[in-house]
Amino acid sequence: MTHKVLTQSQIDQIFEPSYPLSEDVRMSDVLNRVLKTRDGVYYTLWREGQTFILACQRYAKMAPNHIPLAAWDPCAYYGSWQEAKDDLLARKTQIVLPGPADEMEAVIEIYRFVYGPETWDAVIKVDGWPAASFTTCSYIAGKCIAFTKSRHPAGTMPGGVWLNNGFTVDENLPDWTVRLAPVVTRDTPWRFHVWQIRFSDDGTLSRPHLSIQWRESSLSELLDVRARNVEELLAMIPAETWTVTDTGFEVVRDSEWRTGEIPQFADKVAA
């Protein structure tokens, strides 16, 4: 799969996940929860004795899950749970879930959605950037800006995470379609080189580095190799072909080894 549909409603669900009330909804599912109606107004429902009170959001710019109790204005009263439920169902009410904690978490959820949870959770690196139309990118940017302003009004740059980590614009793509970039996972074939090796008189190593290059990708990774001598290095790297030079050696391995089998990359894979 190289393309993924990403609609406005799907984007909205990532930033503010919610689900509609059904006929079998329980009172405990609704009380003291943030609710949203089809007209975009936020409500909450609480109980005082036998009376159920529906209150609406007073300050429109506040994030719905960060509204103090004093900022809700009572707007309807019900004598029973059945009466309250019938009115909420008539309003096409949805229960609002907590959603992402910050903009970075929201952007990660966008990537997880377009790649699919199973693929994304196995991703180590993305080769380049996914692409989308200007309309799609600007809509997500606007959601990021509004989201960050409502939750972190000071000390952060609204939309900054998307600016640095979001999709690139390709006007040849239809709106609400994302062209996926290649990714590196544990199963991606790789090759590696070791270079800048220097031998001392006692056989110890100086400044060894491990460079990993993934096949069919422009991505590479440079890691420090912590080895005291040549024998340790040989034990750490499962190489078969060694080219020895006057000042050291280069290791080349070009086979169907998988990224998850690189010992020096284990911590990054696990992270």
* pLDDT, one tens digit for every residue, the chain (271 residues): 689 999 999 999 999 899 999 999 999 999 988 898 887 788 889 999 999 999 887 655 445 555 555 567 888 999 999 999 999 999 999 998 888 989 999 999 999 999 999 999 888 888 889 999 999 999 999 999 988 887 766 667 888 999 999 999 999 999 999 999 988 877 776 655 554 455 555 555 555 555 556 655 666 665 555 555 555 655 555 545 445 444 444 444 444 445 555 555 444 433 3
d(CA 271, CA 264): 13
- pLDDT at residue 246, as a whole number: 47
pTM: 0.69
Domain boundaries, the chain: 18-96, 100-184, 186-270
Pairing of the two strands 131-132 and 168-169: parallel
CB 168 within 8 A of CB 127: no
Task: Select from 103, 100, 117 the least CA-distant residue to 4.
Answer: 117
DSSP type of residue 204: B
- pLDDT at residue 185, as a whole number: 79
- pLDDT at residue 73, as a whole number: 84
Pairing of the two strands 94-96 and 18-20: antiparallel
Q: Give residue 200's Cα distance to chain centre.
A: 46
